[in-house]
Each structure stands twice: as C-alpha cells, then as structure tokens.
Structure 1
Amino acid sequence: MSETIRRLADSSSYMVLQDKIAALKDGYTLNTCDTNLGHICELIELTSKIQNQLFTAMSLTASEGGTYGGVDTLKSRLLPWLGTSFMTSGGAVTSDTSLTLLKVGNILLFGHYNRLQFLKSKHDNDVTQLEAELNETKEELDLTRDDLRLAKEAAARYKRQLDLVGDFEHEVEHLKGEIRLLRSERDILESRVCDYERPLPPPSSPPTHAELTNSIRHSRLVARFNDLYAVDRLDMQDRLRRFVDDDEMVKRIIFIAVCEAFHVAKMAYRSFRLRARKLLSPIHSGPTTLEEAVTDYIVRNLDLYDVERSVEDVIRAMNVNPKISFPPECEFVLLSPFIREVCLVAYRMQALEPPLDIPLATDGELMNESRYRRSYDSEFTAPLVAYHIWPALVEDGTVLIKGECTTRRGAVS
C-alpha cells in the first residue's frame, strides 16, 4: 500500500470536506456574500490538496507496475474523463472541474509520453550499438580465422622440418655407431701391435747433488736450530739483560728477531731462485728438469746469499715493530751476530726438499700442545699464550721441534 494513501486515509480529509459543506449550507442565508465566497474558496483549496495527494498516489502506484505499468488503465479511464471535463463548449470550465486536476493530469500525461519517447530512443540507440558491436565482432572473427589458418600452415611447415631433423638424428646415431665400431677395431689392432712391440722404459735421470746431500743437510740444520735455541739464544739474553730490565721484553725481542729473520731469508731465497731460473733456462739441457737444475745450482752456491743485507732488513723491521722497544742509548744492531746465524739457517732450510719453516704465532692465541711447551714461569692451567719465547720447526705441517711460550690467564693479543 502506498504511503500517500495511508496518510490520506488517516487524515479523514473527505469527512472534513463534508462537514465544511454542511456548515456552508446551514449558514448560507445568514452569511454575507464575501463570507460565503471565503468558505467556498476554502473548500476549493481543500479539494485541491486531496486531488494532489490522489495524483501522487496514482503516480507511485503506476511506478510499482514497471516501465509500462498502468498505461492501459490511464488511457481507458483517465484520459477520456479529462477530455470530456476539459473540452467543454465555448472553452469554459464547469463548476466541478478543478484547476489542479487539469494541471496535474496534463503533467502526468505528458510525462508518460516523454518517458515513452525516451525509452524508444534509448531502445533504438541500443539496437544500433549492438549492430555495430556485432559487425566489429564479425570482423574480429574473420581476422581470428585468418590467424588460425596461418598458424595451421606454420605448424605444418614446422612438422615437415621436425621430420627432417629426426631423419638427420637417425643418420647421426648411425654414424656414431660406426665410429664406435671402428674405434673398438682400432683398439684391438693397437693391443696386438703392443704385444709385439713393447716400448723400452725411459732412462732414469741420475740424482743431483742436492738430492744426494738433502738428508745430511736436513739433519745438520735441525741440529743447528737446536743449538740456536740452547746456546745462542741464552747468550743473547744475557747480553740484552745488561740494557733491558724487563725479562719479558728480552724474550719478545729475541722471538721477533727469529721470526723476522725467517721471513727475510725466505724472501731472499725466492728472489735468488727466480734469478737462477732466468739464468739457467736458456742453457738448460740434460736428463734433469729445470727446477731440479735450479735447486742443485742454489745448493752448490749457498755462499752467494747476501746475509748482511738480510740482517739490515731484519733490524729495519724490528725498529718499526710496536711490540718491542730498546733504551735510547742502545740499538737493535746489538743482535746482528745472532740475526746473521738465524738468517743463514733459515735460508739453507728453504733449499731442502721439503723445506723447513716456522709457523705463524700471535699473542693471545690458544695454547697448542703439539707445537709449544710452557715455560717454567707459566700458569699451566691458562689456555691462552701471553707471549712466545721460541718458534716451533715444522716440515709439511708436521712439527719436528716444539717451540716455547708463556701462558697467562686473561692474556690478550
């Protein structure tokens, strides 16, 4: 039910209208002309309001029926009544005709007519648009058919090429099989030939001087390294204690001198080996290899080593080492004899096969029982090395002679 109809029923507008008409009838003869006209105008206004509500209810009710709801009823009932009430003789309006009724009826009629025209125009536009889309879809379908035809032709062409590739692969496999067969026949023939003609073993090259003396030089250098630790080191400690009161600093100076001497000697050996290879490569000939000839040349000419220059390099490196220091009135030149002996031993150890070397050592590292033994003044339960006294001697990663170090708790590098 429309809300307008509900409000119209609840307001009892027709009962009020009837009461006012009855009051006008009873007092018509008693009232003046202006008073009666005023009552009549009031009745017309009330009737116009009621008709306005009725036309609103009619419009809402027609909209509930859809786009064309109530059209037949309006044509058969409302329009003929409007025509007979409005088109009177002489163009006059009767007393029962309401100006509001005529206005609203015409608005409603033209509104429905305009709406029908709009819907018809929209329908025509939709049909035209659909026809255009249909034509466009047909064109796209034709293009798709052409693409499909081209794709089928390309697929057929690729299939023919694939068949050719398959034929080539079969031919390649056949040729590979023939090659394998020929190789097997060749191996059989070569094995038969080898049974009749066995090659003589190549003549072995005679041992060089370096190879013949390697074991003797090895044992002498190991013994000399022990003497450096047991004799030369202690003599140098006694000499240094005359100038340095700190016993730990004395041991650090000797250890760093040994490490720097080994480093400088290895660099000198590598440089001399490069010069020897450059010298011998143009004139080398014989059963031995070039490397064997170079090693033999170095062993025969160990006295060509410039040990004094190495001593200067070691002292120069010790002067810039932040871990050691000397009193102002003394210099590291005091260690020159000891450094000279260590450089000679380190240089000759590089000429062995395999060479002997000392491992890298840093303060604060974990104590390695396989490389070092603790000094008498160490804390034997401490895991860290406070400082090193003497390096270990290793050969291909194997420790030949243990070094010595001092362990302390809380030692840091």
Structure 2
Amino acid sequence: MAESLRRMVNNGNFTSLQDKLEKWLDDYHINTNDQNVARACELVELNARVQGQLFTLLNLVASEGGLYGGVNTLKNRLLPWLSSGFAASAASVSADTSLAVLAEAADKDRQITEIQSHYEQQLDNMEKDLNDTKEDAAALKAELDETRDELDDTRRKSTGTMMATEDEIIRLKEELRLTRDEASSLRTRVDLVGDYERQVRVLRDEIAILRGERAALENGFPEPLPPLPPPRPGSPTHAKLTDSVRRSRLIGRYNDLFSIDRVEALTTLRRYIPDDEEMVQRIIFVGVQEAFHAAKMAFRAMRLRVRKNLAITHVGPETLEEAVLDYIVRNTDLFDVNGAVQDTIRAMNVNPKISFPAEIDFNLLHPFIREVCRCGWGMCALEPPLDISPATDAELYNELKYRRSYDSEFTAPLVAYHVWPAMMEYDRVVVKGEAVTKRGASLFSPRRSRSRSPSPRLRSPSPLRSNTNILKIEQSPRRATSPRPMSPSRSRSPSPTRSGSAMSVSSRPSSRSSPRPYSAASSYVSY
C-alpha cells in the first residue's frame, strides 16, 4: 500500500492536472471551439485516471484492515457520497436509482453483519478447542511428572548397584595386586633356582675335571694333561650391575643439561644474537641433535672395534655382546670427546636451519656440546639404550613427547620449532622435550643468511655421513682410540646434510628418559 501511494505521489498526476487547467485558462480565448473541447476531454480523462488510482488505493487500505476494517467509515462517508454525488451529478439518474443504491448498501451491510457473527462463532469454537488442548497438555504434564519420579527412583537404585559394583572392583583390584606380587616373588625364586642350577653345572664340570685328573694321576699317564678351561663366573657383568645406577644418573644429567647448561648457552648466544630469540633456540636444538648423532656414531665405531678384537679370544658364560658392552663401560676414557665435538660443529656449520654472525664461530658452544656428547655416549652404553626423539619443523604436536613453551599458541596444532628433544626408550617417553607451537607453521619457511657481514666467512667442511666414511673412519689417525662403526643408526630427524647416510643407516629406536640426572664430572666415571 505504501509503495503504491509513493508511486502515485512521484507521478505528480494532480500537479499535471493543475498545470493543464492553468494552461487551458491562458489559451482559452486563443483556441478554437474544437481545441477547447479537446482540452476539456483531456482533463476529464486525466481526472478519471486519478480517480481510478484513488479507488485502487481505497481498496488496498480497506483490505489491510481485514474483513471488517473501515466498515463504519465506508458506511458513513463513501456510500452517502456515492448516493448523493451520483444523483446530483447525473441529471439522467432518477430517485428510484438512488433508492436502489441505498437498498443495495443496506443489503451489503446485512451480509457484513452475518459474516461478522459467523466469524465470532468460529472464534468461540476455537477457544473451546484451545481449552480442550490445554486440559490434554495438563494431563500429559502430570504423566510426565510421574514418569520423572519413576526415573529418579530407578536412578537411585542404579546408584546403589553401582556403588556395590565399585566395591567389588576395588576388591578384585586388590586381589590382582596381591596375585602380581606373589607372581613377582615366585619369578624371583625361579631366577634364583636358575642361578643355582648354573652353579651346579659349573661345579659338576669342575668335579668331572678333577676326577679326570685323579684318574690320570692314578694310571700314571706320561702325556701332559690338557689345560683346564678358565672358571666361568656365575655373577652378572659389571655393565649389568651398574646399568640402573648409570641410567638414573644419565637421566638426571639430561635434565641438568636442559635446566642449567642450556640456560648458560642461551645467555652466551644472546650476547651475539640479541634480537632473534627463535634463532638462538634453533641453534641450541640443532647442536643437541648433532652432538647426540656424533656420540652415537663414535659409540658404534668403538663397539665394532671391540667386538672384532674380542671375537677371537672370547670364552665364558656371557655372550659376546655382553662382553663388548662391559668392556666399553669399563673404559669410557677411550671416547674421543673432542673429535665428536668437532664433528658436531662441522655439521652445524652446514645446517641450513640456523645462522650465526660472521665474526664468531660455533666453537663458542664447545663446553655445552662437549657435555651433550658425553651424555649421548653414556646413553648408548645402557641396555636398552636411551636416545632422543626425531623432530621436524611443522610436525603435528604430540603432548606425550613435548610440552609447550611459555610463548606458544596453545591452540596451534603444528610445531613451529623445537626447543629441547624428548628422551626416549624405544617408543616410550622417559623425559618430555619442549616445543613452540604457532599457527601457520610451515616446513618450507625461508632460511636466513649464514653471515651478517659483507665479507664471506670460511666454514669448516661438513662431516660426510655415508656408509663409506663410517668404514674409513677406523683408519683415521685422529680417531685411533675411538673408531666409528658401521652398525645401523637409530632414528633421528632428517637433515639435508645427511641425505646420503641417514637413509642408508637404520637402527632400532633408542629413546628413553627419566628423573633428574647427575653432574658432568660424575656421570662418566666407570663404576
């Protein structure tokens, strides 16, 4: 309705009608009779169109009021006006015609009254139906309350049954614990029985040898008797006896490296890289990774050489591998720490993830890398060995391996970079590492320049880590005391500089962690 009225106002029909009247008045005495008649007809047509639009608006307004909208106004104003107007304006309309119009209006009024009464009757029926519906709803509500009460009773009974079930579960758990304790005690007794049987076999062998000697002496054999085999010890090796002690100390030392040595190294690096905390953290993490890799390679070389030498003369109840590990544990001073540190620094120099000012070198971290190499060597000498977990940028964050740093985005699912690796024992996490998670972390993030000065700086060549170099390292004069073996390597994070070796050398996972470690001085004293 409002839109139709707006269009009528915008058309300006009344303004046009007024303008035409004024123009006709000005030209009335100039125009001919035919022109004046034409002007009059034009005005009548325009007035008829305007009246048609007004009646259309009247119809729309009345329809918006509903069935009885505007009835009184139409009866009081429109119908009398139509009756009198048509009677007065049309000379040809008679009085009978006016009466017919009034009768028709009365008939319409009667019809409207009937429709109104019918509508009111329908409203009464609807109210009755509504009341019936309300009564049904009240009945349903009462039934719902009864059902809720029954449900509460059932819940209370279920709670009592659940409590009884929980008591039964607690009792069964206690019985299971007692059974396990009994089984462990029986297992210990079985181990003791096995030791006794082994000692009995040794004694029987010695008795048989003594009986043979006595028989030879009694018979007076002139030929010399064969040499007696060396007595076989029945106790475990030194490496097995000290394994738990060394393990706890190494775990404590690993924690000290994170909380003490790492903080000192960070403080040193911040003097030269004051405005890039992320790069400082990356340098420390890459240094730890490379140091552990260098220590593992040196340990494997040492184990290969010792196995080769002991395989010729080895006799005894323990296996060759146990003898090799026991020899390495007793001779930890054979580890070439300085060589491992230099290998670590060379690997850091060619790592594309980290950068360093050209005026200084990674030798600045020599004390920290030295302690990490010693810790990695000791972790390799355990059974089973401990290792650090492999790590790559933009990997999915694992709450079992890492904890988030204070500046991380705690809703980000990807790791932007690592702060400290986790210690693992195969697939079990012993000590959690630390990582920084951020949204938008990408593996293909841009790398920074290796130097900040315009003049290039010479770097030491990267260590070649292929299988060929592992075999040749035994012949190096600098590593005469700590050869590098070709045993399979444990899992570590991929690095572009090790594409040739990291894929060719495979190993079982060796990752483990534990409580707090020991100091650097006491961690590598042989037991």
Q: TM-score, normalised by structure 2?
A: 0.40
Amino acid at match of 2:250: L
Contact kept? 2:199, 2:234, Cα under 8 Å: no
- Matches of 2:347 and 2:201 in 1, distance apart? 50
1:268 to 293, 298, 323: 298
1:319 to 335, 345, 349: 349
- Matches of 1:201 and 1:404 in 2, distance apart? 53
Contact kept? 1:205, 1:288, Cα under 8 Å: no
- Matches of 1:208 and 1:314 in 2, distance apart? 33
Does the alignment pair 1:406 with 2:436? Answer: yes
- Matches of 1:377 and 1:202 in 2, distance apart? 64
Match of 2:268 in 1: 239
Amino acid at match of 1:372: Y
Report the Cα offset of residue 199 of structure 1. 12
- Matches of 2:420 and 2:371 in 1, distance apart? 15
Bigger helix fraction: 1
- Matches of 2:342 and 2:426 in 1, distance apart? 29
Rg larger in structure: 1
Identity %: 62
Match of 1:305 in 2: 335
User: What SS class does the counterpart of residue 281 from structure 1 fall into?
Assistant: helix
Q: For 1:279-294, list aligned pairs within 5 A.
A: 279-294=309-324
- Matches of 2:201 and 2:240 in 1, distance apart? 20
Residues 356 and 199 (structure 1), Cα distance of their counterparts in 2 relative to 1, 3 Å cut: closer
Report the Cα offset of residue 213 of structure 1. 0.3
Segments of 5+ residues of structure 1 without an aligned counterpart are: 1-197
Contact kept? 2:198, 2:234, Cα under 8 Å: no
- Matches of 1:410 and 1:201 in 2, distance apart? 68
Report the Cα offset of residue 396 of structure 1. 2.2
User: What SS class does the counterpart of residue 370 from structure 1 fall into?
Assistant: coil
Contact kept? 1:385, 1:407, Cα under 8 Å: yes
Give the number of the structure with larger relative contact order, counting CA–CA contacts within 8 Å between residues 6 or more apart.
Answer: 2
- Matches of 1:388 and 1:355 in 2, distance apart? 23
User: What SS class does the counterpart of residue 382 from structure 1 fall into?
Assistant: coil
Match of 1:395 in 2: 425
Q: For 1:13-412, list aligned pairs within 5 A.
A: 202=201, 205-245=234-274, 246-412=276-442
Residues 200 and 272 (structure 1), Cα distance of their counterparts in 2 relative to 1, 3 Å cut: closer
Amino acid at match of 2:363: V
Amino acid at match of 1:278: K
Contact kept? 1:264, 1:313, Cα under 8 Å: yes
| Structure 1 segments (4+ residues) deviating >3 Å | 198-205
- Matches of 2:296 and 2:198 in 1, distance apart? 44
Q: How many residues align?
A: 216
Amino acid at match of 2:249: R
Report the Cα offset of residue 209 of structure 1. 0.2
Amino acid at match of 1:236: A
Amino acid at match of 2:389: P
User: What SS class does the counterpart of residue 367 from structure 2 fall into?
Assistant: helix
Residues 390 and 199 (structure 1), Cα distance of their counterparts in 2 relative to 1, 3 Å cut: closer
Residues 404 and 200 (structure 1), Cα distance of their counterparts in 2 relative to 1, 3 Å cut: closer
User: What SS class does the counterpart of residue 241 from structure 1 fall into?
Assistant: helix
Contact kept? 2:405, 2:435, Cα under 8 Å: yes
User: What SS class does the counterpart of residue 417 from structure 2 fall into?
Assistant: strand
Contact kept? 1:214, 1:353, Cα under 8 Å: yes
Contact kept? 1:261, 1:314, Cα under 8 Å: yes
- Matches of 2:378 and 2:316 in 1, distance apart? 26
Amino acid at match of 1:270: R
- Matches of 2:403 and 2:434 in 1, distance apart? 5
- Matches of 1:358 and 1:370 in 2, distance apart? 14
Match of 1:74 in 2: none
Report the Cα offset of residue 200 of structure 1. 10
Report the Cα offset of residue 205 of structure 1. 3.8
Residues 199 and 279 (structure 1), Cα distance of their counterparts in 2 relative to 1, 3 Å cut: closer
Segments of 5+ residues of structure 2 without an aligned counterpart are: 1-196, 203-232, 444-527
